[in-house]
Amino acid sequence: MPDTGFIAIFLIGLLGGTHCIAMCGGIVGALSMPAAGQVSTPGWSLHLSYNLGRIASYTLAGAAMGAIGSLSLLLNHVLPVQMILYVAANIMLIALGLYLAGATRTLAFVERIGQHWWAKIQPLTRRFLPARSVAQALPLGMLWGFLPCGMVYSALTVALLAGSTWRGAGLMLAFGLGTLPNLLLAGLLLKRLRETVRMKTVRLASGILVLGFGVAGLLNATTLGGRLWEGIVCRVS
């Protein structure tokens, strides 16, 4: 059976689409408006390239977090590091669910912390705007992948539990692919989709489902044993 941790993190990316569109709607809109008087690359190519770049950044960040998390295995004989990280990851998911549902602004504070690094990265995006080709959209997406986002930070916390560099990369790749449908649709149906995701019922349903992953993870904490790397949901035997 496949590792259900990857499936769960994919679903979190998919269900968090309301937040993705809110965070990245600006750049998606920019890619949707070619310069007047110019024959531009077809819109779908630009959007796909931008999103592949964004997912590549998530994957690299996941690899880094997986590598850092694997070092904690060396401390397991001293402190229950993996269990601490596991609980923290699921608390982040619960906070994310509440954030998506509009019940709290806790993760907005976490996003503001990331603004310090984003202030150094954002000026680099200007050289690729307006994006009129794949060669511009791809690096633009890679840079935009560092936009401060509570949902991404929650997923990276889970990647700490991956147990290895490759598993951390795999988890964030799965997360990025989960966000892909929403942002691709946002590029093609921007106005209509943004109106839909702003509906209170849509945000509430998404938030409750993501929150459920975090609650389920905490409930499973005492039974996971050496399988903690799978993060949110233990392996189905």
Count of domains observed in the chain = 1
Q: Does a structural domain hold residue 175?
A: yes
Q: Does a structural domain hold residue 199?
A: yes
Q: What value does the CA radius of gyration of the chain take, rounded to a whole number of Å? A: 18
Range of the domain at 61: 4-32+40-230
Q: Global pTM?
A: 0.78
Q: Does a structural domain hold residue 237?
A: no
Residue pLDDT, tens place only, 188-232: 555 555 555 556 777 787 778 878 888 887 887 666 544 544 444
Per-residue pLDDT of the chain in tens (237 residues, 90 and over written 9): 345 568 778 888 887 766 666 666 566 665 555 544 444 445 678 888 889 999 999 999 999 999 988 876 656 555 566 777 778 778 888 887 887 777 777 677 777 778 888 888 989 988 887 778 889 889 998 998 898 888 888 889 888 877 789 989 999 999 999 888 877 776 655 555 555 555 677 778 777 887 888 888 788 766 654 454 444 433 433
CB-facing half-sphere around the CA of 199: CA atoms within 13 A: 9
Cα 73 from Cα 55, distance rounded (Å):
27
Q: Does a structural domain hold residue 66?
A: yes
Q: Does a structural domain hold residue 236?
A: no
